[in-house]
Structure 1
Amino acid sequence: MAQEIEHTHLPIRGLNLHVAQVGKDELGTVVFLHGFPEIWYTWRHQMLAVAAAGYRAIAPDSRGYGLSDQPPEDEVATWENLVADVLGILDALSIPKAFMVGKDFGAMPAYDFALRHPDRTRGVMCLGIPFSPVPITIDTMPEGFYILRWREPGRAEADFGRHDVRRVVRTIYILFSRSEIPVADEGQEIMDLADLSTPLPPWFTEEDLDAYAALYEKSGFRYPLQIPYRGLHRMTKHGDAKFQVPVFMVMGEKDYCFKFPGFEDAMRSGIMNTFAPDLKITYIPEGTHFVQEQFPDQVNDLLLGFLKDHP
């Protein structure tokens, strides 16, 4: 795989962004946007699958993540920056239109890009996060809820700083692959919810962990904590949103995010259809938060079906 996927840095809006890509663009381009604690590598299975089917796969490390540059210390982290970065990548590579595929917080700029730039979007597929016209509500969650903890300046840094990067990524992958929302007890931090005796998920190898840890050794966690956790209140509001492109939502039914306030209702009530007239939703019964790594063949089949249905 490492021999097939090419890596480059593109000068985008004052930063050098790392972009992984593979494929010849015979049928079009697919842009993959990762979540936390992910990097381009989270899409390795999907990139090779779409390339084999005749598409060009592009997966950037989001600004401040992996091998991409860190923004200036005084820059306010905004979601609009992520959308503008995607547009900059398409322009730099002379790609007129592309499919957007987003996962976790990467779903938000994928949805936003499709709304802002329908003329540059062929369709949008998102994993784990339904579209919401307003920022999600988390203030009703317990005090130990991981997002409430991690949005506090300095708290996650102190928690993570007790361990090496590999241990931090390992713990997050263990916690986020469960069906229960990570919540710490009083006097406990999120990193205390798993230890080295807790096994990795069976679909996530030590070699995979090495790949993630190597890139977080470069980027650290300071900026990744800004987007998404400390920038949720700055999410773009789309009260009158209307997607002009097809939207495909894939949700693992064992994904802990399914238990976030309003998530299941947003997906099962049909409310997303009011924003996305051409909407399809598929549930993967045993799928967790990292469904694209847990069940790559199933997700690849769904993705390729979506691409082929919208030539």
Structure 2
Amino acid sequence: MDRIEHKYVEVNGLKLHLAEIGTGSLVVVFLHGFPEIWYSWRHQMIAVADAGFRAIAPDFRGYGLSDPPTEPEKTTFADFINDLLGILDALGISKVFLIAKDFGARPAYIFAILHPERVSGIVTLGVPFAPPGPSTFSKYLPEGFYILRWQEPGRAEADFGRLDAKTVVRNIYILFSKSELPIAGENQEIMDLVEPSTPLPPWFTEEDLASYGVLYEKSGFRTALQVPYRSISEEFNITNPKFEAPALLIMGEKDCVLKFPGMEEYIKSGQVKIFVPNLEILSVPEGSHFVQEQFPDHVNQLILTFLNKHC
């Protein structure tokens, strides 16, 4: 970990934090999800750097060590996409591979569709490409579904606010490492779904949790609740939402995302390839939503095989 360097770049009026390792001419940019941060890519960054690539993992605006936006509640996915463009321009990088986890898949794919000349290929973990548009969760899932709860202004803030940031991250890691979607009862909050005595997943250490806790103590959750949860239905002026370059989707076979209505069928039927025709889909047995931290060696090998094939 001490080989990973840290720097800041000024982008769109904010100082954004970057973790970086490697000096190769081919660049891999890692985009985190929630409740993750640059640190969630620690295993992958070192592996791709050792294979000869330059690895860069930013904290999105309002996350981790990056500056918060002046109005977090007005932050959009479009801001994250513009920040990514600004980071590449500030560093003088013309083309990259994008590796994205969870909600990071959306800015990765939309950036690639808007700027295809800047992207050599995409790897996403836990979430496939999906055309942006209105959310339909409320049609198929009860109001206690975690996304519906976190979309409600003030609800998650009150729920999270009972605990310190480290405990919030701990509870979310425990919840999302299971194969079932987190759904609270009528008189429950999402944080109530985890008993204080519940152990961390065996692949996630107390030291890891402490690293996340420090970062979220700094950033808080205001921006994180806005993007992704309260921006899910954001639309973009894209007439042809198709990514033609090579792509890879890595899914843990026990990822709770597969329980989203229609998700498993969308992936396994090949419907996703309507939008990403050159997509390869690989699964990790026993893999959870945090597959890159749970089985880092396996995931690293899948990523490196993809990169070496298409670089």
TM-score by length of 2: 0.97
Residues 179, 235 of structure 1: CA spacing in aligned structure 2 closer, same or farther, 3 A cutoff? farther
The reply to whether residue 166 of structure 1 matches residue 166 of structure 2 is: yes
Tell me the residue number matched to 1:211: 211
1:281 aligned onto 2:304: no
Q: 1:41 matched to which residue of 2?
A: 39
Q: Which residue of 2 aligns with 1:129?
A: 127
Query: Could you say which residue in structure 1 is the equivalent of 2:55?
Result: 57
| Cα distance between partner residues in 1 of 2:72 and 2:210 | 31
Of Structure 1 and Structure 2, the greater helix share is in 2
Q: CA deviation at 1:167?
A: 0.9
Q: CA 1:182–1:235 in structure 2 vs 1: closer, same or farther (change >3 Å)? A: farther
Counterparts of 1:171 and 1:118, CA distance in 2: 38
What runs of 5+ residues in structure 1 fail to find an aligned partner?
none
Residues 250-281 of structure 1: CA distance to partner in whole angstroms, max 9, x if unpaired?
11110101110121111111112222221100
Q: Which position in structure 1 is the counterpart of 2:64?
A: 66
Q: Which residue of 2 aligns with 1:154?
A: 154
CA contact under 8 A between 1:114 and 1:245: conserved in structure 2?
no
In structure 2, give the amino acid aligned to 1:129. Answer: V
Could you say which residue in structure 2 is the equivalent of 1:20?
19
Q: Residue 232 of structure 2: SS of its match in structure 1? A: helix
Q: Which moved more, 1:269-278 or 1:286-295?
A: 269-278
Q: Is 2:201 the partner of 1:201?
A: yes
Q: Identify the residue that residue 7 of structure 1 maps to in structure 2.
A: 6
Unaligned runs of 5+ in 2: none
Give the Cα separation in 1 of the matches to 2:84 and 2:132: 21
**Which residue does 1:94 correspond to in 2?**
92
The 8 Å contact of residues 250 and 284 in structure 1, kept in 2 or not, is answered as yes
Relative to structure 1, the CA distance from residue 228 to residue 263 in structure 2 (aligned partners, 3 Å threshold; closer, same or farther) is: same
Which whole-Å deviations, capped at 9, do the CAs of 1:140-194 have from their partners, x for residues lacking one? Answer: 2111000000111110010011111111111010001100100001110000011
Q: Give the corresponding residue for 1:145.
A: 145
CA contact (8 A) 1:8 1:19 kept: yes
Instruction: Give the whole-Å Cα distance in 2 for the aligned partners of 1:209 and 1:237.
Output: 39
| Equivalence for 1:297 | 297
> Match of 1:44, as an amino acid?
R
Structure 1: distance between partners of 2:36 and 2:72: 24
Contact 1:32 1:60 in 2 (8 A): yes
| Pair 1:75–1:172, CA change in 2 (3 A) | closer
Q: TM-score, normalised by structure 1?
A: 0.97
Equivalent of residue 75 in structure 2, options 70, 77, 94: 77
Instruction: Find the residue that maps to 1:242 and give its secondary structure.
Output: coil
Q: Given that residues 134 and 237 in structure 1 are in contact (C-alpha distance below 8 angstroms), is that contact kept between their aligned partners in structure 2?
A: no
TM-aligned CA deviation for residue 235 of structure 1: 4.3
| Matched letter for residue 96 of structure 1 | S
Report the more deviating stretch, 286-295 or 131-140: 131-140
Cα pair 1:130 1:266 within 8 Å, conserved: no
Measured after TM superposition, the shift of residue 242 of structure 1 is: 2.1
How many corresponding residue pairs?
309
Identical residues among aligned pairs (%)? 60
2:239 and 2:90 map into 1 onto residues whose CA distance is 31
* 1:72 Cα deviation after fit: 1.1
One-letter amino acid matched to 1:190 = I
Q: CA RMSD in A?
A: 1.2
